[in-house]
Amino acid sequence: MLLFIGWRNIWRNPIRSALTIGALAGGLVMVILYSAIMEGLSRQMVQFATEISTGHIQLHRQAFIDDQDLYATMPWSYMEKIEHAFSAIHIAPRLYAAGLASSADHSTGVLIKAVDPKRETAVTRMLRHVRFGELDLGVADTTESGLTRYNLVIGAQLAKNMKVAPGGELVLVTQAADGSIGNALYRIAAVLKPLEPNFDRMGVLMSIEAYQQLMYVENGFHELAIKVDDTDGIASVQSRLDGMLKGLQTTQPLDELGGAPVVRNWRQLTPAIADMLEMSGTIILIIGVIVISLASMGMLNTMLMAVHERTHEFGILLSIGMKRRWLLLMVLFESFFLALVAALAGSLIGSVISVYFEEHGIDFSGYMPDGYDWAGIVFEPVMKGYLDPVHVVNASILMIIITMIASLIPAWRVVRLKPAEVIR
Amino acid sequence: MFFRAVSLSVFVVMLTPFAYAIEVDELIHHIDRLWRGDTSQAMMTMTVKTQRYERAMSMEAWSRGKDYSLVVIREPVKDRGIATLKADENIWNYLPKINRVTKVPSSMMSGSWMGSHFTNDDLVKESTFEDDFDATITFEGERDGQAVYELTFLPRPDAPVVWGKVVMMIEQKSLAPYKSLYYDEEGLLVRTMTFDQFQKIDDRTIPMRLTLQPEDKPEESTMIVYQNIAFGVPLEETFFSLQTLKQRR
């Protein structure tokens, strides 16, 4: 009975109630949209952080982490053993070096990165990130003097700075592992889209075979990127790998200068991203409380007005014996229905818009064709939302709780009415 | 040339070997020409010792004035013919295997020269050392068992240099340097160069062996030993060109 009266009371002034519901629903839509965008960003972040070049887990030696020590390699047998020991992972070995790249008119310092194309493709999307040209890391041709030219792939900004394009020639000069001056000619096969800011500016990618001929680093690799098929299993793979490496070190000791092997997951490799993800939940909650509190001010105003208009009516009800707590309950029900209708409308509209964002995204490629980099990770220029139903339910509950708290003020006024005064 | 690179400045034409009170400017000006003269030609061996390898290279070098120099590697076979040309502020490397000349960009100036502990900057900056630094004689007297001058070089306010201070010890009698200390801007010793195996050539006492010792890597060093140096060799400016760089293999 009280429920029914409460419901009917809302519609005694339909325009005012509709406006209130609109304000509350609008607030809710904002919160749902915001959390969908944040969730989408977080998911994109994890995806870009891991799929493009990092992988889920990486293995290095301490001296390589500290100062990119060329000699801090792990033997190839380590890689084979790891490959055999785990079933549901993919691994990709990598080698690095610093060098000087020269085109016809330009010279600049570069970071040489060597990968195994077959393995790399199973772990990251790096090699599929081609902007111009065709990805090929094999032998390009042989010069008249009998020199083999390998293909290589370079970063977009580097290609721009050096004014080179696919098909062009690049000279690399570096100090090889034996102290000699490593130098060779290469053909640029492709230009990659931005992977990470450093690679974009100074990255040169070649096959491990080409690297070995330039650098004379033959007995191992610097980095092992690992993709775990089931992402929930990252932690267990990491700890198993840790244990396995300790065992390998006793049977196949490493030289002392390079330091111990270190296994790190993507959260440890890109701490800025991991911190951001931790924080985003709290940020959504704070923003939600602020937005909904503002919207519930509207509801507070509506209810105060409604109660004020009906003081006479309440007075009569009280004098004919209506219990005060019933009145309190009736006012609360009115607020509750307002909130409920707003929650239903808000979640519906919010979800529809979020699903639209999930499918279409917000496209910035018009003015940011290369995407943007943030915290050392390059994002694609299309921002995609992700609607998590749990977020919608949470936001609705949050809204109802806040509005109910706000409605205690008008309800309390009703309770404090003195019937003798208001009827007069 | 490289000798200069190495000395970064020190030297003096000998007036008399006896203790005249010597003027700073005079000392600097002459120290500057110790390994160089007007023109020079030299054969030398550079030995680079690192944690991982020890490697000796023999090279031939030419210089004219402070602005031009050319170094060509003769041994080992793997690096034979690799040449470095320095003209004014620029450095080019010639790589015979691929028959290409590459210019060393300014961003790579602090990089190692030919795998040694010298930097490309050492080659370039020596020609502006006098302009970039103010020198004073900060000590004169007995030290390390001999009469010495201690010269202290401080960078001028706007000079684009990496050193905060360079201190050079010169033996008074022969006016030959025997030690240089390089400090960074915080005043920490970064590297030490010692000079020995003195030899008298054309009235100058020249240290034939230079050893560069980086402070942060005590087990590493680069040593240069001159087999011979000839001064006053006829060398035109045109000799120090990209053409010569390619031909001098």
pLDDT, one tens digit per residue, over A357-401 is 888 777 777 776 666 666 666 677 777 778 888 888 888 898 888
Cβ B104 vs Cβ B93: under 8 Å: yes
What is the pLDDT of chain A when averaged over all its residues? 84
Q: Which residues of chain B have pLDDT under 70?
A: 1-22, 124-128, 248-249
- At residue B13, the pLDDT reads 35
A112-161 confidence digits (pLDDT tens): 999 998 888 888 888 888 888 888 888 878 877 778 889 999 988 888 88
The complex scores an ipTM of 0.78
* Closest to A91 measured CA to CA, from A48, A47, A122: A122
Alpha helices in A266-323 (DSSP H): 266-269, 271-309, 311-319
Q: Model's pTM, two decimal places?
A: 0.73
- Residue B20 is predicted with a pLDDT of 45
Chain B nearest-CA residue for A149 = B98
Helices (H) and strands (E) in chain B, counts: 5, 13
HSE of A340, CA atoms in CB hemisphere, 13 A: 10
Question: In the predicted model, what is the mean pLDDT of residues A249-264?
Answer: 84
CB contact under 8 A, A107 and B78: no
Task: Band the pLDDT of A240: cuts 50, 70, 90.
Answer: confident
Q: What is the C-alpha to C-alpha distance for residues A34 and A284, in angstroms, rounded to an integer? A: 7
Q: How confident is the model at residue A27 (pLDDT cuts 50, 70, 90)?
A: confident
pLDDT-derived band at A292 (thresholds 50, 70, 90) equals confident
Token pair in block for residue B143 = 């030290």
SS (H, E, C) A253-271: CCCCCCCCEEEEEHHHHCH
- Please say whether the beta carbons of B152 and B180 come within 8 A: no
Given the DSSP bridges, would you call strands A148-155 and A181-192 parallel, antiparallel or unpaired? parallel
Domains and CATH numbers, chain B: 2-247 (2.50.20.10)
Which tens digits make up the pLDDT trace of B70-99?
A: 889 998 888 888 888 888 878 888 988 888
| Tokens coding A242 | 């840790």
Asked if pLDDT for residue A419 goes beyond 80, the answer is: no
Q: Which pLDDT score is estimated for B22?
A: 59
For position A373, what pLDDT does the model report?
67
Q: For chain B, which residues lie within 8 Å of any Cβ of chain A, measuring from their own Cβ?
A: 48, 50-53, 55, 76, 78-79, 82, 93, 95, 97-100, 102-105, 107-108, 111-112, 114-115
Cα-Cα-Cα-Cα torsion A213, A217, A221, A222, nearest 10 degrees, comes to -110
Q: Cis peptide leading into B76, omega within 30 of 0?
A: yes
pLDDT at residue number A376: 61
Contact B199, B208 (CB under 8 A): yes
Give how far A160 is from chain B: nearest CA, Å.
16
Residue A113: the pLDDT is 92
pLDDT at B248: 64
Nearest to B55 by CA among B84, B82, B85, B75: B75
Q: What is the predicted pLDDT for the residue at B19?
A: 42
Q: Which residues of A touch B103 (CB under 8 A)?
A: 102, 107
Nearest to A423 by CA among A307, A311, A325, A330: A311
Q: Does B97 sit within 8 Å of A173, measured CB to CB?
A: no
